Each structure stands twice: as structure tokens, then as C-alpha cells.
Structure 1
Amino acid sequence: MTTLMSGAMSIVMYSCHNSFGDEVKGLGRWALGLLCVVGAAVAFMLRDTLPPKVALMATNALLFWGIGLSMIGTQEFFGQPPSWRLFHGTWLAGVLGVGWWLLVAPDFMARVATFSFLAFVFYAAQVRLVLRHGARHFSTRFFGALLTLQSAVVLSRGCLALLSGGASVDVLLDSGVANLYLAMANFMALMLTVAFMTMATRRLQTVLESRSTHDPLTGVLNRRGFARAYERQRALLRRSGRPLTLMIIDLDHFKLVNDKHGHLMGDRVLIHVARAIAQALREIDAVARFGGEEFVVLLSDAEPPSAVQAAERIRAALPGGPGHRLPACTVSIGIASHASDEESLDGLLARADAALYRAKANGRDRVEVSETPAPATAPAPASAAGSDNPC
């Protein structure tokens, strides 16, 4: 059952790797590691068909690879460089040690101890990784707890092999310790996989949420993400009465860039512009791509003069022609601030858009600020005396 479930989980992880391998690292390594565990089980079952020593050597080698690849996958998941030297050094030492105690100087207890202590190296490395780089979340803590338990089980088996003889650790004999280890080994093989997949699922959830609120090309917010950011900032600023300013940025003659240099170069220009906008803003500000070559910026607690300064920084950061790796480009920018607490996002966007079109009409490559509309004036009350007053 453990072998079948490991094979099934390997397929699930490989499928996730194909779909989200760039965002969630390590799934492919874990899938390959599970296949190695399946191969080890098959090799062990064939020990009566194949030469027994060949089957045992293959079983141990595949187990080392499976456990080691899970370590590599965990390192990649947490964004750490894979320890390939540790991987190759440990499994080679394990195969040579097991081979020595199996073929040259047969000693079952030494063979079990060698395997256990070297497998412990792989598990302990993952425990250290979770402690140093794991997020404070249930899925990560659950994975770390299982790794710690598995490390203790493997280490205990190695110590028992040296201290109490081989009978207590031989999984082919009917003993309490051996049965307990066999049950734990099968249980942990599945639970560790489930725990890692739980962490991966949480990471996938974050990735999917990001995809729903961010532009895939430039990485800035999309319309949906911008609307959320606006509502949050609007609620915060409304209570304090502080201003909120919005700017719409449009690349001038962007179609000519695509026609002359190709759409791939056009995409690079958009990415550069998005990065230049983000670098010109504060951390509390937000930038979004509304489609095509149009970007929208939300400036929290900023008056129009501050927005104009930010707009000029953006214009200065754009590619400037000869000597630059990207084609020269300019932008037109329209700026508007909330006229009142009752003004909606659509109304603010409309006034900023009108300022943008004024910038386009006035020659492009410039900044225009929308005038704040005057508040509506209440009609004068009618005279109480009316026509009864004499002339």
C-alpha cells in the first residue's frame, strides 16, 4: 500500500511541477524521490528472484537517492541552493558502506547502522532547513515535526543496531521493535509526502491569488488588484481626512515601438516602464497596468504637487535613445486628487483621464493636473415675504 500510494503521490507532485514548477520549486525532486522509493520497494520484493545481494544493494541505493532527492526538493522549495555535494557524498558513502558490510565483511548490524546514520544526515539537514527558513504556519510546523520524528526514529534504529544486536532491528523478523520501526517507516513515508504537499498547496494558493491580482507581464497590479488597494487606502485615509491622488500614465506612440522593433521588444519596454514607475514611488503607493500601455498609480496621502514630482521622476527614468538597450520612449501623465469624500473611483479615474488627454493634446511627453471641481453651491432660499414687500 505504501508503494502504491508513493507512486500515486509522485504522479500528483509531477503534475503540479509541470503546471507550477516556476513558482513552487522542489516538486519535481520530490516526485523523482518518491519514484526511487517505489523502485526500492520493487527491488526488495525481487530479492528471491534476483541475486539477493544485488537486490539489497539496489534497494539501499534507491532508498538513499529517494531520501536525498527529497532533501534537495525541500531546499529548492525554501529557495536555498541544492546541496549536491552532500547528496552525492552521502549516498556514495552509504552504498560503499552497505556494500562493504554486505559483500566484503558481512555484518548485518553494521550495515543497518551505516544506512541509518547516513539517512539521518538527509533528514537532519531538512529539519535544520525548516527551522531556519520555514514560515510560521501550521503546514510548515507540521512538516518540521514529522521530519524531527523521522530523524529520531532513524537515529534510534542505528543506535539499537549497534547496542542490542541485529534481531531487534531486522524488519524480516517478528519483534516488537522491528514491527514498530516497519510501521513508522511506512507511515512516515506517506505523512512526510502529505506534509510537503500541504506546504506546496499553501504556496500554490498564494501563487493563484497573485495571478488573480497582478499583471503577468510586468508583475504590477491588474484592475482587480488595484481596486482592492484603492478600497484599503480609501478606508484608511477617509478617517483621517488625508488626500489621495491618482495618476494615469500612457506611453506615447507605443504602437510605433511594436511596429518598428517587434512585440518582444515592446514587452521589454513595458517591463522597464513598470519597474521605473515602481522605483519612483513610495512603499505605500500602488501601481497597476490597466491594459496595453496604460498604467495607473495610487498615491496615498499625497497632494498634487507631490504627485507631479513623482511623475517627473518617472519621466526621467525612461529609456533615452542612443546608447540605451531599449528604444527611446516618453509618457503622458494625467493627475487628479479626490474632490470630496463622496467622489468614487470611477469619477477620479475620469478626471485623471481627462487630464491625460489634455497632456496628449498639448504635445505629449508632459504632465497635466486635473482641476478640483468646486463644490456644488446650494440655491439661495426664497424670500419669506415674497411679493408682499413694497418696491
Structure 2
Amino acid sequence: MQLNLATLVMLDIYVLLLVSVLMLHAWTRGRDRTLGYLAAALVVGSLGALVGTLRGLGFDWVPVVFSNLLVLFSAALAWTALRVFVGHPPSRWGMAAGGLLWLGLCLLPAFHQSLSVRITVGSLLMALYAVLGAWELWRSRLQLEVDYRPTLALMLLHAGFYVVRAFLDRDLPFDPEGQSTPFFSLVVLETLLYAIGLAFVTLSMVKERAELLYKSAALRDPLTGIGNRRAFVGAAGRLLADCARLRRPAVLLLCDLDHFKRVNDSFGHAAGDQALADFGQILMDRSRQHDLCARIGGEEFVCLLAGADAAAALSLAERIRHEFAELPFVAEGQLSVSIGIAEALQANYQLDRLLSLADEALYAAKAAGRNRVELYRAEPR
């Protein structure tokens, strides 16, 4: 594969700048710092490729020192982009370490005059930054809800390429006639494919995460932080179907704050919102991890307990009621909670019927004076 100098420069710089412009545009639309760091990496990499073309003009120390310095800083910015994506802060020393090491080594005459040593050190530093990027994804894989595997594979392939180059490439980038040497042609090709691939997979991860966040926000009550009615209906239907298939018990708690309108009218909506948030927190703290809790109305909450019987539900409901009564509200005794309980077996594991039975039990609790727990009991025929 023979490419002249002009073609290499045009192809390399044009593609890097084009992809960087696309990343900058994506960053301005969403202000995601991952895309900002990646755009900066591509811009710096294109500048490094441009400075590298000054070789042979009588001051080769400029491309030797500064071209490689920019390329290493570009690799450090790409690593930082992935580090930011997984939620870790940028490391200033980590971004500067590769370039500072390169500058320090270039001050040594033996290093500066040895082409093979420069290629080995520069390639290993490039491989190190790629491995660090892969490590950021791998150590955070359990927290990532997006498909990180294409990015991980790309970073490892990029690192492997530069490890191979560190031990096989010993030629100048260009021969005396301005033609690129065979291995340098592979370097240019790999750089272009890597830049395009990294931009694509990073954009894909950022977009997938944004979609998940929007979906999560649509299924979460913004005031209390627990699920909303839409989230509960979908998840509860599936949970009840599983319980029916496995013949496991399930119990529903339907909670309603007593005299809530009076609190809003007397002390303002801020006090009412705080009461709702406090009760939602109690519900989350006292329920198990696999239970379903949600706010389904203004002051109505539900909690579906899978694998629990009526006795366990009554015990939990009483703990919730007592803990809520102990909170320091604006006016002592102005607010309480009534809870109705119904068993899924009585509703034939149908969510609508189960909600109706729990509502009947809740009505009984209200009629008996509020601030109490009632279990639905079918009247004998």
C-alpha cells in the first residue's frame, strides 16, 4: 500500500476534523461532557497529524516532540471521555502524565536520536491510554445500563495494535521520496477507523443512557422519588402473573394520608409536599428490595408485597403507620395515615380487583376513625 504525503495528510486530517465537528455539534445539543472531551480529543489528534507533516523541512525536532505530544494528549482526552461517562471525575495528572513523560524523555539526547526507542515508548503510551479507557468501562460494568461491549472491544483492539507496533515498527514514517512506509500506512488507516468507530460507539452509549433516563423519569414520581401509577400498573401486572403461576402469596397495601387537604389549606403546599415526600421515604425504607412501591394519586400510595401473607402485611403496615405518626410535622396530630390491605388470592391475582378490595378495606379504616390498618375480609355468603 503506497500513499503519497499529500494524500495521507488530506485523508487523516479531513476525517479527524469532520468527526470532531460532528462531536462538537452533538455536545452543543446535549451538553454531555463525554462528547465534549471526545470532540477535544479528535481536534487535538488532527493537530498532531498536521504537525507531523513538518518532518523533512529542516526542523524535525518539532514533529518529533510536538506531534507525538499532541497525539498522546488526544489519547488522554479519549480516556477521560470514557472516565467521565462512567461517572468518575477527570484526572488532570492522568491527562498530562503521558505528554510530560514524552517531553522529559525528549530532553535526553540518546532518546531523541533513537527512532526505535521513540516508536516503542510512544506506542506503549498510546496502548496504555487505550487500556485505561477499557478499564474504566470494565470496572463500572455492573452500574452501566448501556451496552458497553463494542466500546470495550474497540479500545482493546486499539491497544493491541499499538503494542504490536511497539515491537515491529522500526521505520521512518516516510521514505526520502515522500512515500509512506508500509507500517505507517497501517497506522494512518487504523487511526481513521478508530476515530470513526470511537465516535460512533460513544454516541450510541450516550444516546442509550439518555433514553433510559427519560424512560426512568417518565415512570418516577418527581416529588417522592418512588414509582408513579404508570410504573406500578405495568410492574404489578407482571409480578402478580408470576405469583399466580408459581402459586405464591401476594398482598397489597393501599395507603391514604388522613386530613391531607386540611394540612395544605392550613400550612401551605410546601408542608403538604414535605409530608408526601416523608411518607414515600418511609415506604421505601420499610419495604423489601423486590417489593413494588408507588404513589398512584395525590395522597394515595401502594405497596405490593410478593411472597408475603396477611400477617406480614399487617405487621409492616403498623410499623409504617407508627413511624409516620412520629415524624415532626408542622402541627402535632394534624396528619396520619390509614391503610387497607387485600390478599391477591382473594382477587384471583387480578390487579384491578386487588386494588378494589384494598380500597374497600381502606374505606373501612376511614369509617372506623382513620389512623388505623384494616384487612379486607370477604363477607360470608
- TM-score, normalised with respect to structure 1: 0.75
Counterpart Cα distance in 1 of 2:230 and 2:329: 37
Counterpart Cα distance in 2 of 1:204 and 1:174: 43
Q: 1:153 to 1:101 in 2, by over 3 A?
A: farther
- 1:286 equivalent in structure 2: 292
- 1:224 equivalent in structure 2: 230
Partner secondary structure for residue 362 of structure 2:
helix
How far residue 242 of structure 1 moved from its aligned partner, in angstroms, is: 4.1
What do the CA deviations read for 1:97-153 (whole angstroms, capped 9, x no partner)? 45x379x95665555444333222211112333444436999422222211111122
- 1:15 equivalent in structure 2: 29
Aligned residues of 2:41 and 2:74 also touching (Cα < 8 A): yes
Counterpart Cα distance in 2 of 1:43 and 1:181: 14
Aligned residues of 2:76 and 2:95 also touching (Cα < 8 A): yes
- 1:248 equivalent in structure 2: 254
- 1:89 equivalent in structure 2: 97
Of 285-294 and 240-249, deviating more is 240-249
- Aligned counterpart in structure 1 of residue 182 of structure 2, from 176, 184, 202: 176
- Aligned counterpart in structure 2 of residue 5 of structure 1, from 19, 34, 40: 19
How far residue 294 of structure 1 moved from its aligned partner, in angstroms, is: 1.6
- 2:141 equivalent in structure 1: 134
Code of the aligned partner of 1:331: V
Q: 1:366 to 1:105 in 2, by over 3 A?
A: same
What do the CA deviations read for 1:329-381 (whole angstroms, capped 9, x no partner)? 53221222246455743333233223323333443322122332446xxxxxx
Aligned residues of 1:320 and 1:328 also touching (Cα < 8 A): no
- 2:157 equivalent in structure 1: 149
Number of residue pairs aligned between Structure 1 and Structure 2: 359
Residue 28 of structure 1 pairs with residue 36 of structure 2: no
- 2:130 equivalent in structure 1: 123
How far residue 74 of structure 1 moved from its aligned partner, in angstroms, is: 1.8
How far residue 8 of structure 1 moved from its aligned partner, in angstroms, is: 0.1
Counterpart Cα distance in 2 of 1:65 and 1:327: 64
Q: Comparing both chains, which one has the higher relative contact order based on Cα–Cα distances under 8 Å and sequence gaps of 6 or more?
A: 2
Partner secondary structure for residue 227 of structure 2:
coil
Aligned residues of 2:347 and 2:353 also touching (Cα < 8 A): no
Residue 345 of structure 1 pairs with residue 351 of structure 2: yes
What do the CA deviations read for 1:187-207 (whole angstroms, capped 9, x no partner)? 111112222333334433433
Q: 5+ unaligned residues in a row in structure 1: which ranges?
A: 19-26, 376-391
How far residue 38 of structure 1 moved from its aligned partner, in angstroms, is: 1.6
Identity of aligned residues (%): 29
- Aligned counterpart in structure 1 of residue 376 of structure 2, from 324, 348, 370: 370
Residue 195 of structure 1 pairs with residue 201 of structure 2: yes
Partner secondary structure for residue 118 of structure 1:
helix
Residue 209 of structure 1 pairs with residue 215 of structure 2: yes
Aligned residues of 1:97 and 1:111 also touching (Cα < 8 A): no
- TM-score, normalised with respect to structure 2: 0.77
Aligned residues of 1:303 and 1:337 also touching (Cα < 8 A): yes
Aligned residues of 1:355 and 1:370 also touching (Cα < 8 A): yes
How far residue 241 of structure 1 moved from its aligned partner, in angstroms, is: 4.1
Counterpart Cα distance in 2 of 1:60 and 1:216: 49
Counterpart Cα distance in 1 of 2:318 and 2:132: 51
Aligned residues of 2:23 and 2:35 also touching (Cα < 8 A): no
Aligned residues of 2:41 and 2:78 also touching (Cα < 8 A): no
Q: 1:84 to 1:349 in 2, by over 3 A?
A: same
Aligned residues of 1:238 and 1:341 also touching (Cα < 8 A): no
Aligned residues of 1:331 and 1:364 also touching (Cα < 8 A): yes
Counterpart Cα distance in 2 of 1:128 and 1:169: 37
Q: 5+ unaligned residues in a row in structure 2: which ranges?
A: 1-14
Residue 333 of structure 1 pairs with residue 339 of structure 2: yes
Code of the aligned partner of 2:150: F
Counterpart Cα distance in 2 of 1:169 and 1:193: 32
How far residue 35 of structure 1 moved from its aligned partner, in angstroms, is: 2.4
Counterpart Cα distance in 2 of 1:34 and 1:134: 24
Q: 1:322 to 1:245 in 2, by over 3 A?
A: closer
What do the CA deviations read for 1:240-290 (whole angstroms, capped 9, x no partner)? 444432121122344455567665565454333222112222333211111
Partner secondary structure for residue 296 of structure 2:
strand
How far residue 297 of structure 1 moved from its aligned partner, in angstroms, is: 1.1
Q: 1:86 to 1:336 in 2, by over 3 A?
A: same
Aligned residues of 1:251 and 1:294 also touching (Cα < 8 A): yes
Aligned residues of 1:32 and 1:66 also touching (Cα < 8 A): no
Partner secondary structure for residue 324 of structure 2:
coil
Q: 1:61 to 1:360 in 2, by over 3 A?
A: farther
Of 314-323 and 348-357, deviating more is 314-323
- 1:311 equivalent in structure 2: 317
What's the Cα RMSD here?
3.9
Counterpart Cα distance in 1 of 2:304 and 2:247: 16
